[in-house]
Amino acid sequence: MSGTSSHQIDAATAWGGKTSPFNVSYGKLMMWFFLVSDGLTFGGLLSALGFAKFANPAANGNWPMGEEVFTHFPFTHANLPLLYVAFMTFILIVSSVTMVLAVEAGHRMDKKGVIKWLAFTVVGGLIFLGSQVWEWSTFIAGPDGNLSTWHDNTTISHNCYGGVYEVVGEHEHKHTVISSYGPTLYSNFFFFITGFHGFHVFTGVLFNLLVLRNVVRGVYHRRGHYEMVEKVGLYWHFVDLVWVFVFTFFYLV
């Protein structure tokens, strides 16, 4: 936008009808258009998951159960269904709240408030990404990070692969192996959709960091408004919105 901000555009050039028909700026309108199309992408992916679940007879009775998809928690081997994923959900909701507080501070031209809340939002996003890394690595390598030496095969037997794990060998040669795989179709959807969402979180954190840098440098204060915070805020809330649906359709239903 720096290319056009060096000279004034009159309303008749910017909007054919002299004023914005939706009473929003061009940038916000385009962000909404993008979010609608991105929302359709996620909607299509989650609908495809439903199709795969209902269409696949091999999955009947063999499809992983929502609340048993992830039952681990850091520093413990206890069977805790949903708790870790609920923690991730809560982190994302809180970071959405701090983002909307940053937007509110921007409306009052409160630069310090925007910096504080936007920084919290970035931290929340990073905690979520770190949590997802831990979740994925636990899925792939077991909670001890080494599936082949992991003995407690009862909690992992209902992981996202829906596979069966067996302990083979005796005494110090004991190790866990995968003796049969569950519906890999499910894990394909799981890793693709949560991965695609995680990629959105990652880019959201990047955008937030870039805007935070500009806020600190006073770019938006000089411009007279904090609309850019609002635009990345829309994207960030969208990421939270998608997670609400991912949470329901992977971990609950």
Site for other proteins in 80-119 (CB under 8 A): 81-83, 86, 89-90, 93-94, 96-97, 99-101, 103-104, 107-109
* Residues contacting residue 42 through CB under 8 Å, at least 6 positions apart: 193, 196, 197, 242, 245
Could you tell me the smallest distance in angstroms from the CB atom of residue 161 to other proteins? 17
206 in contact with other proteins (CB under 8 A): no
Number of residues that bind other proteins (CB under 8 A): 76
12-51 positions binding other proteins, by CB under 8 A: 13-14, 19-27, 29, 32, 36, 39-40, 43-44, 47-48, 50-51
Residue 224: left (phi > 0), alpha (psi -120 to 50), or beta? left
Looking at beta carbons only, is 59 or 119 nearer to other proteins? Answer: 59
Minimum Å distance from CB 165 to other proteins? 18
Range in contact with other proteins (rule: CB under 8 A) among 11-19, 166-174, 183-191, 197-205 = 11-19
CA distances from 106 to 89, 96, 231 (A): 26, 15, 12
Strands (E), the chain: 164-168, 175-180
- Asked if 129 contacts 205 with a C-beta cutoff of 8 angstroms, the reply is yes
Nearer to other proteins, 147 or 219 (CB): 219
Residues 6+ apart with CB under 8 A from 19: 11
245 counts as binding other proteins under rule CB under 8 A = yes
Question: Which lies closer to other proteins via its Cβ, residue 78 or residue 168?
Answer: 78
Nearest CB to other proteins, comparing residues 36 and 177: 36
Distances (CA, A) of 85 to 110, 215, 225, 248: 34, 33, 37, 11
| Contact (Cβ atoms closer than 8 angstroms) between residue 102 and residue 113 | yes
Give whichever of 150 and 226 is closer to other proteins, judged by the CB atom: 226
Q: Is 231 in the site for other proteins (CB under 8 A)?
A: no
Does the footprint of other proteins cover residue 11 (CB under 8 A)? yes
Q: Is 129 near other proteins (CB under 8 A)? A: no
Nearer to other proteins, 13 or 76 (CB): 13
Residue 167 has phi, psi (to 5 degrees) of -95, 125
